[in-house]
Amino acid sequence: MNSLNFKSIISSALGMILIIGIYHFSFNNQNNTLKIEHISSSKGKNAVMTIDNDGELKPLSFTNTAEDVLKAVVHIKSTQIGNISNSRQQVSPRNLPDPFRDFFGDQFFRFESPRQMPNSPRIGTGSGVIINEKGYIVTNNHVIDNADDLEVTLHDNRTFKATVVGADPTTDLALIQIKAKDLPTVAMMNSEDIKIGEWVLAVGNPMGLNSTVTAGIVSAKGRNINILKEKFAVESFIQTDAAINPGNSGGALVNLDGGLIGINTAIASPTGSYSGYGFAVPSNIVNKVVEDLLTYGVVQRGVLGVMIRSVDGNLAKEKDLSQMEGAYVDSLLENSAAAASGILVGDVITKVEGKKIKSSPDLQAIIAQYRPGDNITIGINREGKQMDIKVTLINTDGNKSLIEKDSKKVLAILGAEFKTIENKLAKKMDIEGGVEVTKLFAGKLRKHTQIREGFIITKVDGQDVKSKEELIKILESKKGGVMLEGIYKDIPGEYYYAFGL
């Protein structure tokens, strides 16, 4: 008998002895009853533990939160109809500004048919979050911007047409509504309470895959990625490594209790797909925008009127600053609230209403939560000395009053917002006056003409128009066909647009 066979026999014998021993032990200790135990679920699924706000140890589980939040996250189909090949507002990857191509790839909301003919509808998809049982839904402005038709699909597969309540390009947020009641909702929480390293879930409809949940942590707060190019734009994103892809735009970022901490907005990726970084608008900013749109019909932005930079080691050395964080006042805008209150170039803003300011995005985020006319206390460091300054915020037009939204029915029919141009611009354009088209929504102008934002109306049916009030008065009395005549600031020649009221 060779050694290999001998070892095999010994191993087999030991195995039999071990089996007999275990069986004999179990048999004798179970009163001659052989017991077989069945486990209905794996005890290892909650092996990872976490500590709640009360310091209690609890199993880490996403299931209950995911189940609740999924019911309140919707799929949005945005359809743009008409000849969009000649429209400046068309959303095409080749026509996106460089920052949007860098962060969104082909587009952060997914196009279903990238090779469409110029006159065919262009369809994009995104996500939204139900925040009120009466059908109010928060999403991104870039999801619904320029849409002629919005269709919302709920988690239970019901579909509804949606209308735009209002939008704010400066934060890339929009509020839409569907005619439905008793809907599941997601409650907003204070995004300032979120801590770096905290578990979060991203819920949305990425890559055409409805009702998708991904998990990650808060990677950073107060991120400015220079994605929004609007004047007075606010960027103070929550950064997360929860997987976010095209189609997630407008979806929910929630904590483990299911509280809304942000609206997923952008990704940092060279390919347009997930590469480890996603960005969400904090819920505190979302809450302010929603309140303003519901209360005033337009976002009321309190403006400080400063050009700022985040303080770091290099800037501190360059400017001989005594601290390494805060928002450095690089310059003051004309007629700014900051200048009127005594803030100077070279000051470092360190606090707003007692809240610490570590960077310029921190300052943007906090100021964005206030309205024109609000009085706030700003802490500054001036040449090493700390002091408090009282500031009354102004609006984007330079005064302290709230901005009134035009409620004229004719403007809703046209689907546009207008403003009277300043005398300085009128002289530069060599015209006596005019009315600029500042924003286009779904309406007659976009549906029946190729008019673009920035068009300055000088005449209606041959009649001179010098103010927004004149324009409204003329249009309210019109029936049938209307001819708009005007110019663009950056394109030579006169342009005419005809449509029927």
Q: Is the pTM of this model over 0.75?
A: no
Closest CA to 306 of 431, 419, 391: 391
Contact 451, 445 (CB under 8 A): yes
Determine how many CB atoms are found less than 10 A away from the CB of residue 69.
26
pLDDT tens readout for residues 248-303:
999 999 999 999 999 999 887 777 777 788 999 999 999 999 999 988 888 999 99
Enter the DSSP assignment of 370: S
Residue 191 pLDDT level (bands cut at 50, 70, 90): very high
Residue numbers annotated as active site: 142, 172, 249
Angle at 460 between CA 454 and CA 465, to 5 degrees: 70
Give the model's confidence band at 93: pLDDT under 50 very low, under 70 low, under 90 confident, else very high.
very low
3-state secondary structure of 99: helix
Task: Report the pLDDT averaged over residues 4-22.
Answer: 45
Position 115 confidence tier, pLDDT thresholds 50, 70, 90: very low
| pLDDT at residue 116, as a whole number | 42
- Domains of the chain in sequence order: 49-297 (2.40.10.120), 306-392 (2.30.42.10), 409-500 (2.30.42.10)
With 90 as the cut, is the pLDDT of residue 157 above it? yes
- Checking if the pLDDT of 456 tops 70, the result is yes
Is it the case that residue 99 has pLDDT exceeding 70?
A: no
Q: What is the 3-state composition of the chain as percent helix, strand, coil, each rounded to the nearest 5?
A: 25, 30, 45
pLDDT value of position 146: 79
Q: Is the dihedral of CA 431, 435, 437, 438 positive or negative?
A: positive
Q: Which residue has the higher pLDDT, 217 or 28?
A: 217
Q: What are the C-alpha distances in Å from 435 to residues 297, 389, 413, 425, 494?
A: 21, 39, 17, 11, 14
Which residues are CB-neighbours of 299 under 8 A, at least 6 positions away? 166, 168, 170, 171, 289, 292, 293
Cα separation values, 484 from 137, 418, 464, 498, Å: 35, 13, 10, 6
- What is the pLDDT averaged over residues 222-246? 89
Average pLDDT (213-232) is 89
Where is 286: in which H helix or E strand? helix 283-295
What's the whole-number average pLDDT of the chain?
A: 82
Closest among 348, 468, 360, 493 to 414, alpha carbons compared: 468
pLDDT at 88: 38
Place of tokens 């206390």: 377
Residue spans of beta strands (DSSP E) within 393-462 = 416-420, 435-440, 456-460
Number of Cβ within a 10 Å radius of residue 225: 18
Q: How far apart (Å, rounded) are the C-alpha atoms in residues 46 and 453?
A: 55
What pLDDT is attached to residue 40? 52
